[in-house]
Amino acid sequence: MPTPLPVPSRKSPLASLVQWIDGDYPPRPFEESRAEPDRVDWIRTIPFIFLHAGCLGILWVGWSWTAVGVAAALYFVRMFAITGFYHRYFSHRTFRTGRVRQFLFAFLGATSAQRGPLWWAYQHRHHHRHADEPEDAHSPVCHGFLWSHIGWITSRRNFPTDYRSVRDLARYPELVFLNRFDIIAPVTLALVLLAAGAGLNHLAPQLGTTGPQLVVWGFFISTTVLFHATSSINSLAHLIGRRRYETEDDSRNSFLLSIITLGEGWHNNHHRFMSCTRQGFYWWEIDITYYLLRMLEKLGVISDLRPVPAAAYRACPPDEAGAGENREAGRGSAPEIRPGGSAP
């Protein structure tokens, strides 16, 4: 019998390279990874450098309204996939949908190059259990702005998925596969954009776009802006804004962050009442993700959206909402901890 090839240590450069393709490589107990020091794995930063460097391609491909429109549309659609499904569905299970639909939205979310849906859900559930404590991987209060914005995701300690924390999702092999080989989704998007741009250049040259131009704008620029907008919730939503509810963390509400993230900026609301689908509790708290989810509910794509509990309004009625938001700091009652939920 031939001698099996040795499996590289997870600390080796080879392991870091393989992990770009296989997110569960090499297999080892989860606790071993969590025991590693929380520091940057410089090989893991290469994909982020590549993503940002790709934006410089604009110097060679130029721009067109078609390319700019595609970039904006992909930002909007993929932000909705992240906020509506990676967050409110996979992480918190605040509504229901079918198995095929959950995979399609998971794939769409994975095109954002923000890792797989199970890893994202595990990290987010862990964040709620330890919000703004040292164990919180991306707390700006404990670890600083830069680490909470991008540094934490490059650490070996935060790389593996704790499938025990997402058992409700891990029972779907197609989601596990996508989570393990999440690179498939963004590569597929880039190839589709390359082919679409080449086709438009041939069929409609008056649009002034090409395959490389659509890749630069639709993938590199759109994905980079999307990443930083999403990361702003980790980094800025615990530093700037107003606090309506007294929670055991420093979560805050921000209108600006809500606009760029389609409603995720009502972060203090969410940390206090995380089991509901809606995060903007009042009409003036714009929550585009919620409006789109309501539309999908009416179309029969999803169902059973969890409403804002009455306790949210008793704790801060409409005539006191503005005054309540003036509490810039202070920690009090514990937040409602319900990061998971039953599978559909």
pLDDT tens digits, one per residue of 122-167: 999 999 999 999 999 999 999 999 999 999 999 888 989 999 999 9
* Residue-wise pLDDT tens digits, 221-247: 999 999 999 999 999 999 999 999 999
- Number of other residues whose CB lies within 10 A of the CB of residue 115: 21
More confident site: 190 or 27: 190
More confident site: 307 or 333: 307
Residues near 179 by beta carbon (within 8 Å), at least 6 away in sequence: 23, 24, 115, 116, 117, 118, 119, 161
* Residue-wise pLDDT tens digits, 69-86: 999 999 999 999 999 999
Q: What is the mean pLDDT of the chain?
A: 88
pLDDT at 249 over 60: yes
Residues near 252 by beta carbon (within 8 Å), at least 6 away in sequence: 237, 238, 239, 240, 241, 242, 243, 267, 268
Residue 316 has a pLDDT of: 74
pLDDT at 46 over 80: yes
- Taking 3-state DSSP, the helix, strand and coil percentages for the chain, each rounded to the nearest 5, stand at 60, 5, 40
**pTM metric for this prediction:** 0.88
* Residue-wise pLDDT tens digits, 204-221: 999 999 999 999 999 999
Tell me the domain boundaries of the chain. Answer: 47-324
Confidence tier at 318 by pLDDT (50, 70, 90): low
Residue 321 has a pLDDT of: 58
* SS3 category, 253: strand
